[in-house]
Amino acid sequence: MNKNSLIITFLVLLNAVSFAQNAARKPMSQLINDEFKFAANQYKFLAKNIPAGKTPQSFQDGKHVNYDIKWWCSGFYSGSLWYIYEQTKDESVKKEAEEALKVIEPNQTFTGNHDLGFMMYCSFGNAFRLTGKPEYKAIIQRSAESLSTRYHANVKAIQSWNKSKYWDYPVIIDNMMNLEMLNWVSDNGGDKKFKEISIIHSNTTIKNHFRPDFSSYHVIDYNAETGTVKRKATWQGAADCSAWSRGQGWALYGYTMMYRFTKDLTYLNQAKGIAHFILNHPNLPADKIPFWDFDAQGVPFAKRDASAGAIMASALLELAQYTDGEEKKEFKNSAETMIYSLASDAYHAKLGENGGYLLMHSTGAYPLNSEIDVPLIYADYYYLEALARYKKWYL
């Protein structure tokens, strides 16, 4: 056996041992309680390293990475804090969550891209859910109005990014996530046009974003005047024709959410098809935390994306609520595996380490050499959401 074969054999065995150790699981109720207590303490480390007026994003090369509030991830920090407060009732966490909301409040009138749902619903949505403060609801409603300005009837979709040398009218699969805010506002006293836009956008996306196997392209570029498809491409995936893992997670979550708001079986069937693509893919590892792209070069040594695993786990837990029999069991059990994997030493930080973030080994944009094998704030957010959902629905 040559040196390379020995290395490969060792790594495979190491992965098998790690997964076997992970299988010796503590009860989920204990894990969830432990994780929220840990998160409350860990985020106190994170909070110490956020400059005034900024929001936390990552920790790279021993340095904290914080961005301006217009960055698409600006709502995840406060949203994570609200999930932690909900489970721990730690008043210092609540105070930090409230302060974080003040920082991003000006985003309610931002119309520069499609990410208002990420920015303002993950944050103010959770805040309103837990406090009922009318001022929070008003901010969510104003944010929905801002997001709706990016919808154009010619294309029948919300424009994700502005026109540039690369794109005419780009729509990315991530945009499905921002529809939740539109649906919620319409269902809670707001203008009904927001939900109508959400439904039309979802239908356009089903028509143009998906392949026969239910995998999704990342970017569809439309002709802004005619609405015809100009190009099917990627920005963060391995190739135009590949299945970028976090994009598949956005699609799964998005159509599961659309079924919640509409009860349209088209969306439920779409979500189930996406779930089966993910869970039955030959390149999905045994611990069910995907590589950064299902078609990445170098599998099984390609970088993982813990953020994609967290998003998928949260989505699968909800999807299992709408299914039954073996399918329900498959979705719930797969989400459990993802949660236990993320809670293991393979992905989970130690107290005071990892810059104060919970999870390690996420990948932001591999082709752009950006945020590779680092903690990311939205990985933490969807991990905490998955834990909270499991406790609410299955314990």
Catalytic residues: 115, 174
Beta strands in 179-319 (DSSP E): 219-222, 229-233
Whole-number Å distance between alpha carbons of 387 and 122: 16
- Please give the Cα distance from 213 to 242 (Å, whole number): 12
Select from 322, 310, 292 the least CA-distant residue to 347. Answer: 310
With vertex at residue 196, the alpha carbon angle to CA 217 and CA 181, rounded to the nearest 5 degrees, is 70
CB atoms within 10 A of CB 332: 19
| Interhelix angle 193-209/134-148, nearest 10 degrees | 50
CB 240 within 8 A of CB 233: yes
The token duo for 146 is 């801002």
Closest by CA position to 361, among listed 376, 350, 351: 376
**Strand (E) positions, 133-228?**
151-152, 157-158, 169-172, 219-222
* Structure tokens belonging to residue 253: 């979550």
Tokens 């094998």 sit at which residue? 373
| Residue 150 neighbours by CB distance under 10 Å | 21
